Amino acid sequence: MGLTTYIAIYFIVWWVVIFAILPFGVRSQHEDGKVEDGTEPGAPQRPLMLRKVLITSVIAAVLVALLAWTIESGKVTLDMFPMPFDAKLYDLK
């Protein structure tokens, strides 16, 4: 696969990981007992977004690197997976 494909895969993996990481370590204003006037009590006190973005970037890079190594080394090929409408698989003639 080409570099563009791996960049696209990284983009998709990054977004999946960021949504998995977002809830970790979040405390709402209500939980801390410091609700500011005019704000939602469930709003995060300190979302720590920069830290989460950096952690997400590292995790996504490692996952895509492992995927790229697996594919480029030949350990996994597309031929290993049955195609949905393969004539041999469904005895279609």
Residues paired with residue 29 on neighbouring β-strands, in sequence order: none
Query: pTM for the complete prediction?
Result: 0.74
Domain ranges of the chain: 3-90
Instruction: State mean pLDDT over 25-39.
Output: 83
Q: Is 69 exposed, middle or buried (0-12, 13-18, 19+ CB in 10 A)?
A: exposed
Q: Report which of residues 82 and 12 the model is more confident about.
A: 12
Look at residue 33 in the predicted model and tell me its pLDDT.
80
Give the residue among 65, 68, 57 at the shortest CA–CA distance from 17: 57
